[in-house]
Structure 1
């Protein structure tokens, strides 16, 4: 069986995700990412011809390009991710963890450890094609499921060769908590686990706290899912946080990221924990904001461990720079498995699916 893959966007830089897998006479689009910056445009959707679209999760660089696609193209995503689709866009449900057939191709999904409703995707063609979407082993709330074997691995490498553990990040952020802080965060991603952590820190330090109502709603949505779709032992903490009243005025604010600027929050210092736009990089350089990563992507050693578990012979690091030192680092980490081509193919037998377990 022949499989051809074209990475329309997301190779060689942090950018919108859009990958076409062609097999069995069908073309499936994995993710439909939109521009990361308001003044950018996407071109990957121009004259695109696909039979179906599979969406891994609801962050803009993976879903905001759906508006560029014809509405008659079947689109698959989990019910929680469907809330972020354009109004009245038809969709078909992906399981949060399970298997279905899309255009005659067996697709397996599992929890990706990154966001509410987010999944990885495995296509049972050509020895197996695995796409992580955005993934993380270190989430306090979201589990990561062991995927089936795959000869081709399209993996989230947003952090490049960075390999600091989450405990280091949490400790570094805690050192900022001596001052009034505002944390702008993606509402379905790190926001949920940061809410639990900040509630604990606020209690220990006798600080006041406010959690954005949208983030509260998403925590309630997580709690309403089957218990196996979240890490064990946290339900009581989630319920306690949901019952907690927002302080006014708060010392600590966890809020949905709405392109906030320092001028909008004169009484709080903005602390960012993820991707910085060019404007925010300028604010950071001018000491107007602070930044400390909270891990929500695969760090380098975890990416290699995932490639090993998959048994992949071709590994493509996505959403990261692939030049100079970073490229050398990936050569050192992945050796002959490293693939940086925009187009790749595989010829192999159909994979046999194994039952899902917990990898991290």
Structure 2
């Protein structure tokens, strides 16, 4: 069977995700990402001709380009992700964990461990094509499901050759919470687990903290999902957090990221834990904001384990500048990694 894969956007650095897969005479678009900051190109959608689009999760660099697609184009996503679509946009259900057929192509989905309702995709063509979307094996709340074997693996390599365990990230962040802080985070992603971690940590550090209404709604939405879509053991802690009275003037805020600037929080200092836009990179260099990573993507040792598990013979590292280094480190006796071009890694 002939198989053609074209990464329209997402090769080399943190950029909108858009991958075209052509098989069985059909063309599927995997993700429809939008620009993360002003000036970033979003030209991948120009003149696009596909049979359907599949969205892995609701972060802007994977769903923000939907507005550039024809409204009649069949779009598939999970129910939680559909809430982030443009108002009135038609969509068709994608299982959060299961199998279906889209344009005649077998599609398997599983939990990706990165965000609320986020999934990986496996296409049952040409020995299997696996697309991780954004994925993480270290979430405290969100599971990562084992995918079926795949000859081709399109992998979230946002962190490049970085391989620091999440426990060390948490310790480093905790050391920075001695002064008033604001942590802007994706409400459907790391906000969920950071909230539970802070609720346990804050009493030990003797600090008060709160979360905004958007992050709170994210936790409420997580509890509304089937229990099998959450890691075991977190429900009671989430309910306790949501039911507890909140302080009136907390020293620490966990807030949905609205492109916050230092002047928005004159009594607190911003601590970013993920991707930094060019403007935020300049702010960090100038000493106006701080940064310490909280893992939400696959780190190197997890990429290596996933490649072995898939039995992949061709791997495309996405969203990273460390393409050559990642390819060399992911080499396995069973196959040859696919050479690609590179650019910036994500936070």
* Band the TM-score falls in, shorter-chain normalisation: over 0.9
**Which residue of 1 is the match for residue 246 of structure 2?**
246
Specify the alignment match of 1:349 in structure 2.
none
Matching of residues 1-360 of structure 1 within 5 Å: 1-322=1-322, 327-334=324-331, 337-341=336-340
- Evaluate the alpha carbon distance shift between residue 329 and residue 341 of structure 1 in structure 2; reply closer, same or farther with a 3 A threshold: closer
Contact 2:307 2:330 in 1 (8 A): no
Q: Does the residue aligned with 1:13 lie in a helix, a strand or coil?
A: coil
Normalised by the length of structure 2, the TM-score is: 0.95
TM-score by length of 1: 0.92
Q: Which deviations, in whole Å up to 9, do the C-alpha atoms of 1:260-311 show, x marking residues without a partner?
A: 0111111111000000011111111111111000000000110111011000
Structure-2 separation of matches of 1:313 and 1:284: 40
Structure 1 distance, partners of 2:154, 2:252, is 38
Structure 1 window deviating more from structure 2 (245-254 vs 75-84): it is 245-254
CA distance in 2, matches of 1:311, 1:35: 33
- Cα deviation 1:38-84 (Å, max 9, x = unaligned): 33341000000000000000000000000000011100000000011
Distance 1:329 1:75, change over 3 A: closer
Bigger RCO of structures 1 and 2 (CA < 8 A, at least 6 apart): 1
Determine the C-alpha separation between the residues in 2 that align with 1:245 and 1:126: 55
Deviation at 1:218, TM superposition (A): 1.1
Moved more, 40-49 or 132-141: 40-49
3-state SS of 1:340 partner = coil
Other structure's SS at 2:182 match: strand
Cα distance in 1, alignment partners of residues 336 and 135 from structure 2: 20
How many aligned positions are there?
Answer: 339
Q: Is the 8 A contact 1:161 1:330 kept in 2?
A: no
Cα displacement string for residues 158-204 of structure 1 (whole angstroms, at most 9, x for unaligned residues): 00000000001000000011111100001100000000011111122
Distance 1:239 1:220 in 2: 9
1:346 equivalent in structure 2: none
Following TM superposition, by how much is the alpha carbon of 1:212 offset from its aligned partner in structure 2, in angstroms? 1.1
CA distance in 1, matches of 2:54, 2:330: 29
- 27 and 329 in structure 1: CA distance in 2 versus 1, 3 angstrom threshold: closer
User: What residue ranges of structure 1 are gaps of 5+ in the alignment?
Assistant: 343-360
Task: Determine helix, strand or coil for the equivalent of 2:101.
Answer: strand
Q: Deviations over 1:99-135 (max 9, x none)?
A: 1110101100000000000000000000000000000
Task: Report what 1:347 is aligned to.
Answer: none
RMSD over aligned Cα atoms: 1.2
**Could you tell me how far 1:329 is from its partner in structure 2?**
4.6
Q: Measure how far apart 1:337 and its partner are.
A: 2.9
Contact persistence 1:75–1:90 (CA under 8 A): yes
* Partner secondary structure for residue 153 of structure 2: strand
* 2-structure distance, mates of 1:125, 1:285: 46
